[in-house]
Structure 1
Amino acid sequence: MSQSIFAFLLTPYTIPLLCVFYFLLPYLSKSHWIALPAPFPAAFTNLWLLYQCRRGRRFLAVHEAHQKHGKFVRIQPNHVSVADDAAIQAIYGHGNGFLKSDYYDAFVSIRRGLFNTRDRAEHTRKRKTVAHTFSAKSVGQFEQYIHANIELFVTQLRTICQNQTDPRSGYASIDALNWFNYLAFDIIGDLAFGAPFGMLAKGRDVAEVRKTPDSPPTYAPAIEVLNRRGEVSGTLGCLPGLKPYASYLPDAFFSKGLEAVQNLAGIAIARVNERLKPEVIENNTRVDLLARLMEGRDETGAHLGREELTAEALTQLIAGSDTTSNTSCALLYWVLRTPGVMEKLQKVIDEAVPEGVDVPSYAMLKDVLYIQYVIQETMRIHSTSALGLPRLIPPGNPPVDICGQTFYAGDVVSVPSYTIHRSPVIWGPDAESFVPDRWAPDRVTARQKAAFIPFSTGPRACVGRNVAEMELTCIVGAVFRNFEFVIEQDHPMETREGFLRKPLGLKSGLHSVGISRIRNWWSLLAHFQELTQFSDSHSHTNLKIG
């Protein structure tokens, strides 16, 4: 008997059968079945969703599945995507007791941070320690660092205009995504680690990496590292048990991605190590994110340890870089491709900002409603967090009714934000169009406000929302205060999804309008001409009367 089993194990069918068994295990191990439609073979294995993530199109595959199958779609054996805005509070709201699923295990590197902590009590402790970092007072103090980097951004783009403008077109050509990446990384470097990465000054992507605080430094492209990390973690999140073995897979996507995970952690280790040197701490007068994290205390009065501090700083790096650059690039794209929006933006900015100010303060812009409309509409139509964030109904939880469907302990549910943000039922027949004025108070509905979830909602919502909104407002003000743009590519902006949905580039023409705002000068000239014409007409009338 034992010999026959041993002989079977040596057959060429063993490995394929073991793989089939392993990948079907999520289906075979279920205590109950979910009788809901699913794209084949998502009902039986996690491999369907993993494959879509590997291709960078999870948000689109899930969206297409909902268009075909309706409100409820099984995208994994125990995971149901619910494309109904009524499910948002049921799944993500306060008091329901749902937990983050094991999807988030794939995002742990140094140790669990606020983002990937799944334990409810641990999350409460971390949020209490970190929350003061994003108080209104702290956010106001962060603006000086944001403003300084935006000033350098404007200076560098002006230099490009001076040196690289094509005399035939009057524009200098850039990939706008690159420069938004440099800006976002330098801002978050300044906020989270005490100094910018220097990408704006160098005009390229580079960062110091240390595997441990005492390791010699190496260097890596931080933007590329972050992109790879998001893609591989988002893919392995569909099957977290695969993570320890992923580097051995024949697809280099996994080995390079896991190397990126280590390098990204190494960037945080290097920067925190520099900031925690005794002479730096002694002379520090900064009021940035890291300073606030170092001050934070939990309910016992304890500070964050070095490793935990580094993990939280890494969380801020991830949360505050890609999100800002992706949204800024998408905003420029949609503004340029939608007639009249750029001109209206420039007009309201010019009206709000005093003459001679090139980089407006947040105070000058925060009450300019049209800027907020444009930002909100960008986050709706280009949801940088486009996937449905998975939530687990915890063990022992009684059955839960969500939009008429009963779910049980062990089930995972999510609401796909890309699909919700483009639903004609919620947003009307122009849901696929970029319409900033839909956010005007007399047009936007209570349902639309509740269905708008770019920062998620509930107890696990983004704690840095206020910083992100201030940063985006200041970027929009500076960009359209100082420059004219045109799209120079003949195809729509392409995107790829890791954890976040990111543009792959945006070829743009750039023209500086100068310090004194040429448009204002032309407006004054036009106004003067109108006065002259009125005066001439009035003189002629008088002559006729006389």
Structure 2
Amino acid sequence: MAIVDYLLHLDWISTLSLLGVFVLLAHFVPYVVDPFCIRSNGISGPFWARLSDAWLGWVSAQGHRSEVVHELHKKYGTFVRIAPNHVSISDPDALQIVYAHGNGTLKSDFYDAFVSIRRGLFNTRSRPEHTRKRKIVSHIFSQKSVLAFEPHIRQHVRELLGQWDMLCDGGKKGVSGNEGEGGWRGREGRVWFDCLPWYNYLAFDIIGDLAFGSPFGMIKAAKDAAPVAVDQAQAIASYGAEEGSMDAEKPVCAMVELPAVQILNDRGEYSASMGVLPPWCRPLVKRLPWYAKGNKAVKNLAGLAVAAIAKRLAYPTDRTDLLSKLQEGKDDDGNPMGREELTAEALTQLIAGSDTTSNSSCAITYHLAHNPSVQAKLQKELDEALGLDDDAVSTFEQVKKLPYLQAVIDETLRVHSTSGIGLPRLVPEGGLVVNGKTFPEGTVLSVPSYTIHRDKEVWGEDADDFRPDRWFEKDQALLQRAFNPFSFGPRACVGRNLASMELLIIISSILRRYEFVLEEPGKTFDTREGFLRKPLECRVGVKRREAVIL
């Protein structure tokens, strides 16, 4: 009681001073005690990263975490301390240890920042719960199952080509009131525009069609917009609690049209930055203006999913898509997903399937426009394989075995590294040994894809360069050991087959029909990173290839 009385009677200067001492001790003592054996293992890193999670939070919020961590590995070596209990490991062999089946590692509390409606396959941390969910979902993404989605994908690619044909033919100018965004005719007989928004529209329409039963209509409208439920509970009530129970007399729930792509961007940056902060401080940090914006994006994204799922369940259909297969899925006890879980999983597919596809498509277009000889070589392969087929949209069967097309895609996934940050894993009871260093339970380990994709021992001295021919010159087993675009182990991307099919169809169809040059040939490919590395823009000059004008 005497201590409490003393504290209550301190003046504000003494109180702040005492608080500062406590904060200092709370960070300095763990560093000295070294409970995770990071210092004793001889692992170093930025000064503030040794003492506080705030350093990584600040770096993540700046939008270039992968590049910053990559430079740290150049300075400090294979092991870098990026937080008091977090070690980044830039060794391809560590993938087989940190993320492997049966090693006991778990997802860290980083993933708690990605939960909105409820935990889905991506952000559940419970091993039994993840196993249950993966059993329901994994069969949906088998190679055989995803072939059923091909007609939907090709339909939306065809719609995009129609829009670009109009731009190339001068039949349409301007998008969203801005002629520069929609395209304008100019030098060299080309139409010039930023292709990134178009790839966003395409990816959202495809995954919206598959995950929610109908596209958002972004390609047709040439606009980033989607309906979002103002009140999630009201959305469910308005569309009826049971499938097929739409009541025409009930008022439709309040909707607003919001920019879904921007919401997803804001949510990714917010969650990736919030996730590296200690759980105890997150409720306080959410009140800061930048984080408050991101928190709102999380809610809006959930509102988008709730509205779309509620509408789909009110109007049953026999179409084959991701949602219908999710509805059919059952766990080992024969139990299907409930509405809330179904909505959460559909939202997971929307997030995973839109960003990755649009980012990668844009990056591929940039690198091909930046490397005309690579573009010409790819188009030669496409012309020889597809001939003068009247259908402008490739089929998966036509392009799935084209080696140079696959090399171009793989090389872009390596250089661009859409998922570039090291995904964090908690060391289990009993510890984990990586490259001769022992880490005790509770240590967070990660292997950054951005850095291992630039390992010169694997990829060569020109590892920073875009050069698809390297995939034919080097030992494939060696390259695959260090190639990690979809993660590794039991938590690897379950939608890999779908993503691969989408990219093969999209890139082959577009490059067979058009040729690209950069508007500013010397301009770098600028990105900003949240959970994924996202391009900021890609302005290109486009024209129809004469050989395929039908």
TM-score w.r.t. length of structure 2:
0.89
Cα 1:289–1:25 change in 2 (3 A) is: farther
SS in 1 for 2:81: strand
Cα 1:124–1:170 change in 2 (3 A) is: same
Structure 1 counterpart of 2:497, from 458, 466, 474: 466
Q: Deviations over 1:210-261 (max 9, x none)?
A: 1312441112100000000000000001115233223312xx2211100000
1:216 aligns with 2:254: yes
Q: Which residue of 1 aligns with 2:299?
A: 262
Structure 1 counterpart of 2:414, from 358, 375, 380: 380
Q: Which has the larger radius of gyration?
A: 1
Q: Deviations over 1:336-371 (max 9, x none)?
A: 212411111111111111412211111111111111
Does the CA-based 8 Å contact 2:161-2:510 persist in structure 1?
yes
Q: Which residue of 1 aligns with 2:465?
A: 433
Q: CA deviation at 1:30?
A: 6.3
1:289 aligns with 2:291: no
Q: Deviations over 1:462-494 (max 9, x none)?
A: 000000000000011111111111100342110
SS in 2 for 1:218: strand
Q: Which residue of 2 aligns with 1:423?
A: 455
1:204 aligns with 2:223: yes
Cα 1:81–1:358 change in 2 (3 A) is: same
Q: CA deviation at 1:23?
A: 6.6
Q: Deviations over 1:480-510 (max 9, x none)?
A: 1111111003421101110000110011111
Cα 1:333–1:428 change in 2 (3 A) is: same
1:235 aligns with 2:273: yes
1:404 aligns with 2:436: yes
Structure 1 counterpart of 2:405, from 371, 389, 399: 371
Cα 1:450–1:32 change in 2 (3 A) is: closer
SS in 1 for 2:185: coil
1:173 is matched by which residue type in structure 2?
W
Structure 2 counterpart of 1:362, from 380, 396, 399: 396
After superposing the two structures, state which structure 1 stretch, 22-31 or 340-349, moved more: 22-31
C-alpha distance in 1 between matches for 2:350 and 2:186: 40
Q: CA deviation at 1:112?
A: 0.5
Q: Deviations over 1:376-420 (max 9, x none)?
A: 0000011000000110012xx213210111111111111111000
Matches within 5 A, 1:56-135: 56-135=63-142
C-alpha distance in 2 between matches for 1:370 and 1:221: 36
C-alpha distance in 1 between matches for 2:34 and 2:293: 33
C-alpha distance in 1 between matches for 2:538 and 2:269: 20
SS in 1 for 2:516: strand
Q: Aligned residues: percent identity?
A: 48
C-alpha distance in 1 between matches for 2:312 and 2:514: 36
Unaligned segments of structure 2, at least 5 residues: 174-183, 238-252
Does the CA-based 8 Å contact 2:55-2:83 persist in structure 1?
yes
Q: CA deviation at 1:26?
A: 7.1
C-alpha distance in 2 between matches for 1:236 and 1:386: 17
Does the CA-based 8 Å contact 1:40-1:48 persist in structure 2?
no
Cα 1:240–1:132 change in 2 (3 A) is: farther
Q: Which residue of 2 aligns with 1:150?
A: 157
Q: CA deviation at 1:58?
A: 0.8
Structure 2 counterpart of 1:179, from 186, 198, 208: 198
C-alpha distance in 2 between matches for 1:189 and 1:43: 43
C-alpha distance in 1 between matches for 2:410 and 2:228: 35
1:34 is matched by which residue type in structure 2?
I
Instruction: Name the count of aligned residue pairs.
Output: 509
Q: Deviations over 1:20-78 (max 9, x none)?
A: 56777975896344111111111111011111101011101111110000011111111
C-alpha distance in 2 between matches for 1:203 and 1:23: 51
Does the CA-based 8 Å contact 2:513-2:545 persist in structure 1?
yes
Q: Which residue of 1 aligns with 2:286?
A: 247
1:6 is matched by which residue type in structure 2?
L
Cα 1:33–1:4 change in 2 (3 A) is: same
1:34 aligns with 2:67: no
Cα 1:275–1:22 change in 2 (3 A) is: farther
C-alpha distance in 1 between matches for 2:213 and 2:70: 40
2:479 is matched by which residue type in structure 1?
Q
Cα 1:299–1:29 change in 2 (3 A) is: farther
Structure 1 counterpart of 2:508, from 477, 483, 490: 477
SS in 2 for 1:401: strand
Q: CA deviation at 1:446?
A: 1.4
Cα 1:203–1:240 change in 2 (3 A) is: farther
SS in 2 for 1:431: coil
C-alpha distance in 2 between matches for 1:26 and 1:312: 39
Cα 1:116–1:172 change in 2 (3 A) is: same
C-alpha distance in 1 between matches for 2:5 and 2:461: 68
C-alpha distance in 2 between matches for 1:104 and 1:32: 21
Q: CA deviation at 1:136?
A: 2.3
Q: Which residue of 2 aligns with 1:191?
A: 210
Structure 2 counterpart of 1:327, from 350, 360, 367: 360
TM-score w.r.t. length of structure 1:
0.90
After superposing the two structures, state which structure 1 stretch, 20-29 or 99-108, moved more: 20-29
Q: Which residue of 1 aligns with 2:523?
A: 491
C-alpha distance in 2 between matches for 1:24 and 1:47: 14
Cα 1:26–1:152 change in 2 (3 A) is: farther
1:444 aligns with 2:475: yes
Q: Deviations over 1:75-121 (max 9, x none)?
A: 11111111111111000111101001111111111110000011111
C-alpha distance in 2 between matches for 1:21 and 1:101: 25
Q: Which residue of 2 aligns with 1:543?
A: none
Does the CA-based 8 Å contact 2:53-2:278 persist in structure 1?
no
Does the CA-based 8 Å contact 2:368-2:516 persist in structure 1?
no
C-alpha distance in 2 between matches for 1:480 and 1:322: 21
Q: CA deviation at 1:166?
A: 2.4
1:508 aligns with 2:512: no
2:269 is matched by which residue type in structure 1?
E
TM-align CA RMSD? 1.9
1:454 aligns with 2:500: no
Unaligned segments of structure 1, at least 5 residues: 522-546
Q: Which residue of 1 aligns with 2:9?
A: 7
1:225 aligns with 2:263: yes
Does the CA-based 8 Å contact 2:369-2:540 persist in structure 1?
no
C-alpha distance in 1 between matches for 2:525 and 2:9: 55
C-alpha distance in 2 between matches for 1:33 and 1:295: 48
Q: Which residue of 1 aligns with 2:180?
A: none
Cα 1:200–1:305 change in 2 (3 A) is: same
SS in 1 for 2:334: coil
SS in 2 for 1:510: strand
1:136 aligns with 2:143: yes
After superposing the two structures, state which structure 1 stretch, 397-406 or 74-83, moved more: 397-406
SS in 1 for 2:469: helix
C-alpha distance in 2 between matches for 1:25 and 1:58: 27
C-alpha distance in 2 between matches for 1:317 and 1:25: 44
1:275 is matched by which residue type in structure 2?
R
Q: CA deviation at 1:16?
A: 5.4
